[in-house]
Amino acid sequence: MTELPFSRPTDYEHFVTCEAPGEGCWFVFKGDQLLVEMGPLEAPSDDLRVRARPAWARLPLRKNHNWLGATALRTLYLGRLGAAHLWAAEVSPEADVPGGLAWAGLRSLFSVLDDSHFALAGRALQLIDWDRSHQFCGRCGSPTVSKSEERVRVCPACKLSAYPRVAPAVMALVRRENQLLLARSPHFPAGMYSALAGFVEPGESLEQCLAREVHEEVGVQISNTRYFASQSWPFPHSLMIAFVCDYESGELRPQPSEIEAANWFDVLQLPKLPSKISIARRLIDAVVVEMRGSK
């Protein structure tokens, strides 16, 4: 399997402070929109949430590490990619688009922006969101301060530390003979189905979470759980951990509030699936290849 989108680039080094600021690549966000130079929206998209992708896109490169000046609400140093310095910033919702640049959602830049920059944009988006959400102490309400040696915001009054958070979630692709169990949430684009997924609760293992989620969402029992792969997922800050498992028992009974529809699909007649940006699609594709090969 090729590297999953949002995987850390091999030549990326994480630093919190910049010793000698120089020319750098900038990840500037306004909400969840990234500032890029980009071509016309004419490339086809495999993502039902994205109508078309730009023909090309690249990050702004700037010699001055303070080029946004007072327009930045926050600026974070991300480290280096090879020799290039990387900076992330957030600007206010009213900020104008600098000349020659445009705002674009991250999903629309998948397979368009350089893979390393795309992955680091996912990291930048999460860190900007974390920094914005931890300006005040969650325990006593005092303003927090950042540290120069590690990525953390600390409360000077009560010493509580707030690190960037990651929410683990499991994904289950359930097999039964030549069929896959796929479901759709009410939030999905029309016609799209995917594997089941849910967040890990405090006090449970991944395997327990998997069994609970599948049973809660569609009422069936699973067995023979096999790990597939994991993916950082920056919408907003998850780690998706994907498994394949076998159907054991039970009738399909979708949970009304979570699942709009769930069905067993023949591996040769699958519905619309998620984009290749997500581990869900990689998981389904890999299992389909395996099942078709064994028929």
Are the C-beta atoms of residues 170 and 162 closer than 8 Å to each other? no
Q: Which residues bind Zn ion (CB under 5 A)?
A: 137, 139-140, 142, 155, 157-158, 160
Q: How far is CA 178 from the centre of its chain?
A: 30
- CB closer to Zn ion out of 97 and 140: 140
> What is the helix, strand, coil percentage profile of the chain, to 5?
20, 35, 45
- CB closer to Zn ion out of 18 and 160: 160
- CB closer to Zn ion out of 78 and 137: 137
DSSP letter at 155? -
- CA–CA gap between residue 119 and residue 270 (Å, rounded): 29
Which residues are CB-contacts of 156 (< 8 A; sequence separation ≥ 6)?
142, 144, 145
Task: Tell the smallest beta-carbon distance from residue 202 to Zn ion (Å).
Answer: 22
**Measured between alpha carbons, how far is residue 141 from residues 132, 138, 162, 263 in Å?**
14, 6, 13, 48
- CB closer to Zn ion out of 140 and 166: 140
Q: How many CB atoms lie within 10 A of CB 151?
A: 17
Which residues are CB-contacts of 274 (< 8 A; sequence separation ≥ 6)?
47, 48, 192, 194, 280, 281
Task: Tell the smallest beta-carbon distance from residue 160 to Zn ion (Å).
Answer: 5
- CB closer to Zn ion out of 144 and 232: 144
Task: Tell the smallest beta-carbon distance from residue 153 to Zn ion (Å).
Answer: 11
- CB closer to Zn ion out of 160 and 239: 160
Which of 52, 62, 54 shows the shortest CA–CA distance to 28? 62
Task: Tell the smallest beta-carbon distance from residue 162 to Zn ion (Å).
Answer: 10
Task: Tell the smallest beta-carbon distance from residue 139 to Zn ion (Å).
Answer: 5
DSSP letter at 46? S
Task: Tell the smallest beta-carbon distance from residue 134 to Zn ion (Å).
Answer: 11
Task: Tell the smallest beta-carbon distance from residue 155 to Zn ion (Å).
Answer: 3
Concatenated DSSP letters of 243-275: EEEEEEE------TTT-SEEEEEETTS--B---
- CB closer to Zn ion out of 137 and 284: 137
